[in-house]
Chain A
Amino acid sequence: EIVMTQSPATLSVSPGERATLSCRASQSVSSNLAWYQQKPGQAPRLLIYGASTRATGIPARFSGSGSGTEFTLTISSLQSEDFAVYYCQQYNNWLLFGQGTRLEIK
């Protein structure tokens, strides 16, 4: 059984700075990994799929990297609208989400 672990649980960053979020799989998921953003009271939104491909309409400041078991979501220059909860999801062996990282304003 695959376990997805996101770190840190909460990340405090100032607007304009870079944010780096991590996601680790307990076994290889190849590049079958997605990232989602969820704001309070809203449904999640797909940001990245295939570990590094931006979904339609997603700004270039969002980037994903990694393969196998280690993945990273980087937001290059934080905007006010980027403060939210971020989830990774593997879809290599059925589907499973990580527990989420809350990105908050420092």
Chain B
Amino acid sequence: EVQLVESGGGLVQPGRSLRLSCAASGFTFDDYAMHWVRQAPGKGLEWVSGISWNSGSIGYADSVKGRFTISRDNAKNSLYLQMNSLRAEDTALYYCAKGPTGRVMRAFDIWGQGTMVTVSS
């Protein structure tokens, strides 16, 4: 069964850092692009960042550029999101999502269940 399981969320103070992880199983992880998408409470979906199969192509939403860093470890079938200088507006449910190919600019065919990040003092 294809599965994505996010972890690492929690309550963090403004200005601090947090690292999210996504564990993939049931497919050949290093064949596919991966993404982070967030959803603030009661709001819509926002693409955060994406990474190609070999980490050769990486992109970020303007709202997180310079603060967040996406990475992957194909040997561990894992995706990461390092979030620095967190702000209240970063409070959201963070989803890990899989692309249908190794290229970043494609739709997302598999989603995890998300991990909640709350930024508050």
Q: Which A residues lie at the B interface, using CB under 8 A?
A: 32, 34, 36, 38, 43-46, 49, 55-56, 85, 87, 89, 91-100
Contacts and interface: CB of A to CB of B under 8 A. Distances in A.
B32 interface: no
B79 to A, nearest CB: 15
A43 B95 CA distance: 8
Chain B contact residues (Cβ within 8 angstroms of A): what range?
10 to 19
Contact of A92 (B47, B59, B95, B105): B105
Contacts of B104: 94-95
Contacts of A45: 111
B113 interface: yes
Contacts of A36: 45, 108
Given A87-B44, A89-B107, A95-B35, 9 more contacts: A43-B112, A43-B113, A46-B108, A46-B109, A49-B106, A55-B109, A87-B45, A91-B105, A94-B104
